[in-house]
Amino acid sequence: MKNISIFISGRGSNLESILKKRNSGFFDASIPFVLSNKEDAMGLQVAKRYNIPTHVFNIKSFPSRNDFEKALLDLLEKHSIDLIVLAGFMSILSKDFITSFGKPIINIHPSLLPAFPGLNAQKRTLEYGAKFAGCTVHFVTANVDAGPIILQDVIPIFDDDTEETITMRLLEREHLLLPEAIKIIVEDRFQIIGRRVIVEK
């Protein structure tokens, strides 16, 4: 069975959808711990409710990014983590960290990448005047929000939509998309050809 670690920074609604789906047998994996880079992330309470141990690693309490990432790598190695899932983790992992970890890292982003990478994606999608918004699960590479795309979903934008309504409707899709991507990876049902991730049914 694969060991997954989920990294969060905030609310933890994606974390909860992952834990619910795992508990219902949707995919088979062990989740030895949830990591947050913020002490006050609400998602830490979600992990506790599901009896998953938590770790808080705040980069500010380490002398350097290098020390922070080294401590993180030690923790991942100690638990033999096979996959890192970034579920609303709002900190960038360095190229060295990604290389040293050497196993898949996936991220969920609230836009139809490559459109609107970075922060406030929903707000920028709306303000741009796009007629559709989306969410993307992709492999994490050194370039932010630019790794090979595993899954995407799309929703229409209505005239009376606000940043909040788009965010909420997208979250409903994110809660299906991220567990689906985890299932594909833990079951090893994909190939990467160039930039294309081909999913076997």
In the complex, the residues that contact ligand GAR under the rule CB under 6 A are: 8, 10-14, 43, 87-88, 108-110, 121, 171, 174
Minimum distance, C-beta of residue 36 to ligand GAR, in the bound complex (Å): 10
Interatomic CA distance for residues 57 and 34, integer angstroms: 11
- Secondary structure of residue 83 in the 3-state scheme: strand
- Residue pair 31/6 in contact (Cβ under 8 Å)? The answer is yes
Pick the closest to residue 111 from 147, 137, 85 (CA basis). Answer: 137
Of the pair 12, 147, the CB lying nearest ligand GAR is at 12
Q: Is the dihedral of CA 20, 23, 28, 33 positive or negative?
A: positive
What 8-state DSSP symbol labels residue 51?
A: T
Of the pair 74, 105, the CB lying nearest ligand GAR is at 105
109 is catalytic: yes
| Catalytic, out of 55, 79, 109, 175 | 109
The closest residue (CB) to ligand GAR is 88
Minimum distance, C-beta of residue 28 to ligand GAR, in the bound complex (Å): 22
Minimum distance, C-beta of residue 92 to ligand GAR, in the bound complex (Å): 10
Question: So which residues are the catalytic ones?
Answer: 109
